[in-house]
Structure formats: structure tokens, C-alpha cells
Structure 1
Amino acid sequence: MTTLEDRPLATDPADLLATAREQVLERGVGLDEAQVLAVLNLGDEHLEDLLGLAHEVRMRWCGPEVEVEGIVSLKTGGCPEDCHFCSQSGQFTSPVRSVWLDIPALVEAAKATAATGATEFCIVAAVRGPDERLMTQMREGVAAIKEAVDIQVAASLGMLTQAQVDELAAMGVHRYNHNLETARSYFPNVVTTHTWEERWETLTMVREAGMEVCCGGIVGMGETLEQRAEFAAQLATLTPDEVPLNFLNPRPGTPFGDQEPLSAQDALRTIAAFRLAMPRTILRYAGGREITLGDLGTREGLLGGINAVIVGNYLTTLGRDPKEDLALLDELKMPIKALADTF
């Protein structure tokens, strides 16, 4: 990311887009926080040009391939944390209750994911951090998956100790997801049972252990545009290998259950802004795109900076039929990234 001293901030939309073209497309240098904020403030009349530029950036610095991933919950519900967007918290009246998935079911889910053409399978658990039972499930589950199917295994198990980081790396978990969720300044409005800094510490250990870092969050939780720009800048500083971009799907019984979903225009502007902030990062469609963008918006996002998708259902919400996503990728002539290319 550049600093504000590197160049004056362009305020005219045409000048801003021209600056972004030269800086990001030509030189591969992501927009800084103030520049991202200016992009987020662009009017709808500039959205088509903005998405076109973000797509050019994606094609130049990432290529046309799309990484496809499936996710499954190993341990669902009953989480002690109070993430205000999440129906898996045991503190809210939302209906998700604690359920564990056994190893045969986990392997079958991995096989089903691979059958869609996906190269990535992420095992998720609704916990603050893994206990010994969960680590045992991971040891047995990862070994069984690797024996049964040719797919990369990722994990998302909350906050980790150094010993747990080292063990996951030794198991062959190649990518670890731990979302920062939102800007540091807004985080206390989203979670009160742990801190943004605790999440950052886990991500630092993951990177140092040699695993890929997957870190994103949710937009549309009531944050300001300034905080959305702050979040993009903080992610860029972390330099994650992948950023899953979720849009709030308000869940009944959670503190954010009455929030209005983000508009399609704001969601697409956010996609483009994050691509311009992180030109070389895997930017993945994740939860909420179905209600925020619909079919047409999903297409526009793929032509506006997105280069990875989660197929099928999410942890507690329904996604698109994988066949629809794969057909759209074929129509757009965006090949699925081969498994060998994900190492």
C-alpha cells in the first residue's frame, strides 16, 4: 500500500480512476486507505467504469482462473463467543444448536466438494479455539480426507495457540481461515468476548508457520465507509493469500438480525475497492452474495475483481446451486484453477 505522501489524493472521479489505473493496473501498487475511501464514495454513474478497471486489475495480476472451494462445519452451534452476526453463538436466541460431524460424514463432504470441481475443502468449527477433542477430530479427519480424495484441506477453528498452529501445519492443513471481520475501530461493536488483536496474533502465527493466510470479513454490519476503507487497508497490511468477502445476511435472533442488507451497488463498489487495494490477492465470494447481489450481481462481481468462489451452502445459510456457479464460470470463460496450481 502506498502512503498519502506518495501522491496527492485525486477527488475528481475521472482523475481518481486514472490514478488507480496507473498505480494499480500498471504498477501493481494497491490503493491506500484514503484512496479506497474515495473509491467507496464514487457515485453509481461511475460503477461500470470502476468494475471494469477492477476486472482488468484482476486479470493482469491474478489471471483468469477462479479458485473454487467448498466448506463444511465439523462442529456447529453452541459457540461461547458473541459475534453479533452469527447464529451459531450460544448467547443468542437464534436456532442453531451444537452438533458434531463424524469422520465418515466429513470425508463424504470432501468427496462431494471435489466432485463439483472444487480444489479446496475448508473444515470449520464454531468455537473460540480448538480443545483436545476438536484437535483429535482434525487429526483423524484430515488424514481420512487425504487418503480418500485429492483435494487441498483448509481449516477455520478460531484462535490458536502456537502448539496448535504447529500441529495443524504438520497435519497438512495448507491454509488457515481466521477473519478479522471488520475494521479494528469497529470491532468492539461486533464482538465483545475477544479482541481484534487476539485474532491478529493467530494470523501472525499462522503465517510464520508456513500456512497460507485466509482472512476477510463481513461488510454491511453498520460500519461507516471510512471504517470499510480502514478494513481494506488493514487487510492489505496483513497481505493475506486469500480474502473471503461476505455480505451481512441478517440472521433472526442475533443482534444484527434487523439490519438492512447492503445494496447491490454498495456491494459491487466494495468488491472493486478491495480488489484495487489488494491487486494480487485471491478475492473470494463468500456468504450473503445471494441476497445482496442475486444472479446478475454475482456475474458483475466476477467481472469486477472476484477470482474465487465458495460453492454450495455456507455454515448456517443457503448458497447457490454449485451447478449454477460452475455454468456461469464456463460462460464467462473463467477456468477453474487446477489443484496443482493451489499448492
Structure 2
Amino acid sequence: MTHAPARVDILDLARDQVLRCGRGLDRAQTLEVLRLPDDRLEELLSVAHEVRMAWCGPEVEVEGIISLKTGGCPEDCHFCSQSGLFASPVRSAWLDIPALVEAAKQTAKTGATEFCIVAAVRGPDARLMAQVAAGVEAIRGEVDIQVACSLGMLTQDQVDQLAALGVHRYNHNLETARSFFPHVVTTHTWEERWETLSMVREAGMEVCCGGILGMGETLEQRAEFAADLAALEPDEVPLNFLNPRPGTPFGDLEVLPASEALKAVAAFRLALPRTILRFAGGREITLGDLGAKQGILGGINAVIVGNYLTTLGRRAETDLDLLDELKMPIKALGESI
């Protein structure tokens, strides 16, 4: 009589496959991690932290973001209060160049090495591209910091312009799994976003691509999303957690439970062992102070300091003090993680 081989525990498999060999978990394995019971969360976070330390090191990349153009976006991203299609309270506004430079200076003072210029648009028009070009030039003339941009979907000419300006990294989030995307956005497709990211990579800019967890996706779709990102191989993955915004279609959704959010952090680290994994929007309402510490000890190796685009974040000093307490140095300008 033959016996079926004993089932390998998923965290033992992760120790062998990811920690020792550096090969990320696949979609089915990631789903198994996401399904772990809460009483194994501490062990899971410990394994994810070991992976982060082994394949990324102790350094933490710090970034600040600023909105160059706020509100009035024509797209219907159901989580976003900047859509002009929803009765949300965000008003359309533009930031001038001196204010942009000052924001970059204040960001650099925190020790941040990355400053991201963001605009609420489907994609940039000529006016916005001119404003970005002037802003990048002014910042590079006065502040020693790398400049990133997040301006929506791009044409090849616009990608080439940004690369020529010396933009270091381009952010364009896939937001969620391909199978769930039509429940989140209907005015453009997941594939259109992927096309922009492909052009960015080919132009030599670093690719920043993540999304938002807790928008009603299943655990299976969360694992699918991690696999999508692994296939893209982005340099950075910002992990946001839904902070329900009044007036948006997702305004009444429940905040993701902290244990579920932390499992996702660890699962994404195990799926993407060498990637910069950044705490982004919604972590304050989802995780609080204790959860922020658990996340940084559970796979995170980058943070956004200060406020987000339309929501308040933690004080920069609070995050920097936490990194000091954990003896995790801030990545210096020019270093790679």
C-alpha cells in the first residue's frame, strides 16, 4: 500500500524556496499564505522579515509625495476622491513651481531620497507636461533628491520626455488583480495601465507599481495580484490599504482587519523577495502604530513619510523615530536596496 507524501507546511516551504533560494512564491503558494490562521501571523511575519533582510538588507527607502494637480480627474476609480465623477469634497487645484520646490526641500530634510510628483489625470496634456518639466528642472537645481512622477497613462513620446528630464522612477499602479479591475475602474482597462508600465521599463526608468488592498477583492484575487506584480518585476511596490472616502463608490466599505493586512504584507514580500515593498496610504487607519511596527518587521522596507494626496499620514518624525528604534538605517541617496 502506497501513501501520499506528507504535505509540506507553507512556511517551511517559504524558508527553503524564498529565504534560502530567493525564488518568490507562486500564485497558489501565496494564496496558502493568505489563508494562514491568525495564530500563525507572528511566525509568518518573522519569516517575511528574514526574507527582507536576506535579499534587501536593513536599509529603508524614505519617500515624500506631492500633488501637482489635485481633483477633477475624468476617470472613475471607485476608491478615489479626486474623480470629477463623484460627489466627493476634493476640489480641483494646481500647485505652482515655488511650492513644489519647497515641498521637495522639506521632504529632503527628513532624510528622504525620493520625491514623487503626482497629478490626478487620465494622462498628462501639454500644459501638465510643461509644468512637470519646469518643476523637475527647478527641483534638480535646488534639492539633492531623486524625482519620481505619477501622471497616469502615457504615450511613447511622453515616456521619452520624462526619461530625458532625468525622472528616476515612474509610478503607475495596476491597483488590483486583472480579474477584479473592472469592479474598480470602468473608464480604462488594466491592459492600458500595463502598456504604460512596459514603455516606462523600456525607456530605462525604474518601475513603481502597486495597488490598494481591501476593495472587496477575494483572497484568491489578492494572490492573483501578487502574481501579476511578480510577472511585471517592478523595482518598487507600494502597498495601500483602502481608506474609504466619502462620496466615492467604495465610501461605505469596511476597513481591512489589521491581521489580514499584515498577512498580505508578508505574502507580498514572500512573492517578491527582492522588491522595494513600501508602506503607502491607509496604513494608519488599518494598522495603527503597533501595526506599522509589525509591518516593518514583516517585510516592508520603504515608507512614505508625511501626508498622502488627500488623506493625512503619520508625522515624518514618528516614522523616522521608529526606524531608529528598530536600528534600520535610512537608505542614502544613490544607494540601491
- Counterpart-to-counterpart distance in 1, 2:209 and 2:173: 4
Partner residue, 1:154? 148
After superposition, what is the alpha-carbon deviation per residue over 1:176-235, rounded to whole angstroms, capped at 9, x for unaligned? 000000000000000000000000000000000000000000000000000000000000
Counterpart of 1:34 in structure 2: which amino acid? Answer: A
TM score, norm. by length of structure 2: 0.98
- Counterpart-to-counterpart distance in 1, 2:330 and 2:210: 22
Deviation >3 Å, runs of 4+: 8-12
- Counterpart-to-counterpart distance in 2, 1:314 and 1:192: 24
From 157, 175, 180, give the equivalent of 2:174: 180
Counterparts of 1:75-154 in structure 2 under 5 Å? Answer: 75-154=69-148
Q: How many Å apart are 1:9 and its aligned residue? A: 11
- Is the partner of 2:64 in helix, strand or coil? strand
C-alpha contact 1:119 1:342 (8 A) present in aligned 2: no
Q: How many Å apart are 1:11 and its aligned residue? A: 5.8
Counterpart of 2:229 in structure 1: which amino acid? Answer: L
1:212 aligns with 2:206: yes
- Counterpart-to-counterpart distance in 2, 1:205 and 1:257: 33
Partner residue, 2:60? 66
1:25 aligns with 2:19: yes
From 220, 225, 229, give the equivalent of 1:226: 220
Identity %: 79
After superposition, what is the alpha-carbon deviation per residue over 1:53-88, rounded to whole angstroms, capped at 9, x for unaligned? 000000000000000000000000000000000000
Superposed CA RMSD in Å reads: 1.3
- Counterpart-to-counterpart distance in 2, 1:19 and 1:221: 29
Structure 2 residues without counterparts, runs of 5 or longer: none
After superposition, what is the alpha-carbon deviation per residue over 1:272-307, rounded to whole angstroms, capped at 9, x for unaligned? 000000000000000000000000000000000000
- Is the partner of 1:117 in helix, strand or coil? coil
- Counterpart-to-counterpart distance in 2, 1:238 and 1:106: 31
C-alpha contact 1:69 1:310 (8 A) present in aligned 2: yes
- Counterpart-to-counterpart distance in 2, 1:278 and 1:307: 12
1:266 aligns with 2:260: yes
- Is the partner of 1:313 in helix, strand or coil? coil
Counterpart of 2:221 in structure 1: which amino acid? Answer: Q
- Is the partner of 1:176 in helix, strand or coil? strand
Structure 1 residues without counterparts, runs of 5 or longer: 1-7
Counterpart of 1:114 in structure 2: which amino acid? Answer: A
- Is the partner of 1:221 in helix, strand or coil? coil
Partner residue, 2:333? 339
Q: How many Å apart are 1:97 and its aligned residue? A: 1.4
Q: How many Å apart are 1:322 and its aligned residue? A: 0.4
- Is the partner of 1:339 in helix, strand or coil? coil
Counterpart of 1:261 in structure 2: which amino acid? Answer: V
- Counterpart-to-counterpart distance in 2, 1:258 and 1:41: 25
Counterpart of 2:255 in structure 1: which amino acid? Answer: P
C-alpha contact 1:10 1:16 (8 A) present in aligned 2: no
Q: How many Å apart are 1:123 and its aligned residue? A: 0.1
C-alpha contact 1:284 1:309 (8 A) present in aligned 2: yes
After superposition, what is the alpha-carbon deviation per residue over 1:117-163, rounded to whole angstroms, capped at 9, x for unaligned? 10000000000000000000011000000001100000000000000
Counterpart of 2:126 in structure 1: which amino acid? Answer: E
